[in-house]
């Protein structure tokens, strides 16, 4: 399994998976903005803290500066979202790692959409297949054209295939609800599918597809 670098951005704590709330996630961390003080309060010292820290009060910032050696401060008026900054930092310092992103859902819908659309940006093309967004109910992975095997997460019942762009040849050969060589010129969410066995497969020839495993 690939090494993992975890990123914590500033979404609501209520959306965190239990493993994060309980401090059970292994691997190093990049903290973005208020993610830094949140990790420190859990006894986790991130390798790097980045952001404009506009949501971190002065007393918290003093703690961040005293505990974290590597801090990169960006101006409040910037061309990147917090999550983009986190992923760019991971690409720079952990180029071979899988990138797991927490705190990227819940709260403002514009932030959620920006985080999903990150997978479409040319600057992130090299890491699309390394990205995961994880929250209390969902794990989202992003795929470029190819043939894939996917493994069911034990606590997740539902499976969705979301074409974020036009797609060609989307095929779901062994899911509960199959699909054969489907083409679409616009995004579609094939929601509420399910695994038919612990390992399933899918393929497509063009586009970007997000695969979501979910639980109620």
- Nearest CA to 128 out of 93, 159, 98 is that of 98
Residues 127, 143, single domain; the answer is no
For the residues 150-165, what does the mean pLDDT come to? 97
Token couple for 71: 């801090």
> Of 117, 136, 155, which residue is a domain's last?
136
Residue range of the domain that includes 170: 137-216
> Do both 21 and 118 map to the same domain?
yes
161 lies in the same domain as 58: no
pLDDT value at 52 more than 90: no
CATH number at residue 92: 3.40.50.10240
Indicate whether 189 pLDDT > 60: yes
CA distance 2 to 6: 12
Q: Which residue is it, tokens 């008026």?
A: 77
- Looking at residue 1, its pLDDT comes to 53
Q: What angle do CA 135, 91, 84 make, to 5 degrees?
A: 55
Residues 158 and 124 in one domain: no
Calpha distance 40→150 (Å, rounded): 34
Q: How many domains does the chain have?
A: 2
Residue 39 pLDDT more than 60?
A: yes
- Of 91, 114, 136, the residue that ends a domain is 136
What lies within 8 Å, CB to CB, of 21 at 6+ separation is 13
d(CA 165, CA 83): 21
Average pLDDT, the chain: 95
Q: How far apart are CA 216 and CA 209, in angstroms?
A: 22
DSSP 54: T
Q: Summarize pLDDT for 98-152 with one digit per residue, the tens.
A: 999 999 999 889 989 999 999 999 999 999 999 999 999 999 999 999 999 999 9
The pTM (predicted TM-score) of the whole model is 0.93
């Amino acid at each position: 399994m690939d090494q993992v670098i975890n990123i914590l951005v500033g979404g609501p704590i209520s959306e965190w998976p239990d493993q994060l709330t309980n401090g059970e996630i292994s691997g190093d961390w990049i903290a973005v903005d208020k993610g830094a003080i949140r990790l420190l309060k859990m006894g986790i010292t991130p390798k790097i803290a980045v952001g404009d820290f506009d949501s971190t009060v002065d007393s918290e910032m003093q703690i961040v500066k005293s505990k974290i050696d590597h801090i990169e401060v960006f101006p409040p008026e910037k061309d990147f979202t917090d999550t983009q900054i986190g992923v760019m930092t991971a690409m720079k310092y952990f180029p071979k790692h899988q990138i797991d992103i927490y705190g990227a859902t819940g709260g403002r819908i514009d932030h959620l959409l920006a985080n999903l659309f990150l997978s479409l940006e040319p600057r992130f093309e090299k890491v699309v297949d390394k990205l995961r967004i994880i929250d209390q109910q969902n794990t989202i992975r992003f795929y470029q054209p190819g043939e894939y095997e996917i493994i069911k997460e034990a606590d997740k019942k539902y499976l969705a295939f979301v074409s974020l762009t036009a797609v060609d040849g989307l095929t779901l050969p062994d899911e509960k609800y199959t699909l054969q060589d489907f083409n679409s010129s616009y995004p579609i969410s094939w929601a509420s599918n399910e695994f038919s066995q612990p390992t399933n497969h899918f393929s497509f020839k063009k586009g970007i597809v997000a695969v979501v495993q979910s639980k109620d």
